[in-house]
Amino acid sequence: MSFRFRQLEKEHALEILNWRYASPYDCYNFDADTIQEDLHYLLDSKNAFYAILNLQGKLEGYCSFGSDGQVPGGEYSSEALDIGMGIRPDLVGRGRGKQYAQAVVRYGTKQYRAQHLRVTIAEFNKRAQRVWEQLGFEQVEKFVKTGSEEEFVIMACAV
């Protein structure tokens, strides 16, 4: 599978804000009460959001590089490119996560000349953890998000 990456545009961001995931992944749904703030955040170039497009130009997911991929409470002092990623809800659970993650890793490594990569994943999301393990990422930390009871894991990989 081949994908194209483009800086996130307003039409992509609006589509993403309306995506709805089924439980237990509904924690990834954007809040309808904060749509304008979330839209501004997704489109702010300092947050480095990119659309993941199929070869026909249709939005299949998005990713981010940098601080957006970090969760308060985690240890991020070591040098690494943080990656965030989301896949369109109707495409989740079809066994294609590794292909998306590989494409994101390739793009991020090339774009940012990164030598170390890092992802932070909700602890319950074993499916995502398995995807990143298949790419050589290993768990380096488990922590509770500041101000909550949510557990997360940090996984890292040298390129």
Range of the domain at 75: 4-158
pLDDT at residue 1 tops 90:
no
Q: Can you give the CATH number for the domain in which 78 is found?
A: 3.40.630.30
Query: What pLDDT score does 158 carry?
Result: 95
On whether the CB atoms of residues 38 and 62 are closer than 8 A, the answer is: no
pLDDT digits (tens, 9 = 90+) for 123-132: 999 999 999 9
On whether the CB atoms of residues 154 and 141 are closer than 8 A, the answer is: yes
Rounded CA-CA distance 75/11 in Å is 34
Model pTM score: 0.94
Cα separation values, 141 from 23, 109, 120, 122, Å: 25, 22, 9, 12
DSSP annotation of 21 reads: P
Q: Band of the pLDDT at 8, cuts 50, 70, 90?
A: very high
Domain count of the fold of the chain: 1
